[in-house]
Amino acid sequence: MRRRSLKESLERYVVDAGVLIEYIVKGSPYREAVKKMLDDVLAKVTELYLTPITVFRNHIRSG
């Protein structure tokens, strides 16, 4: 049986910039969920990806 590397066992998510905003806003109902996800990134359990296209699209909508 082949051992899975750490890289293969990580959960991976592509997040929208709005997810990070939910962490910044103190009264957000999603803040704790986002905090857990960011803690998992620091613990190297999860990888997060934020693409430039996602950030740019959100910038246009909100600007």
Q: Where are the chain's structural domains? A: 6-62
Amino acid at position 51, single letter: T
Whole-number average pLDDT of the chain:
79
Q: Band the pLDDT of 30: cuts 50, 70, 90.
A: very high
Residue 5 pLDDT greater than 70, yes or no = no
Amino acid at position 30, single letter: Y
Q: Identify the weakest region by mean pLDDT among 23-32, 41-50, 52-61.
A: 52-61
SS3 14: strand
Best CA proximity match to 15, nearest among 56, 51, 41? 51
Tokens of 7: 């890289």
Q: Band the pLDDT of 27: cuts 50, 70, 90.
A: very high
SS3 27: coil
- Could you give the percent of the chain with pLDDT greater than 90? 37
**11-14 and 46-49: which strand pairing?**
parallel
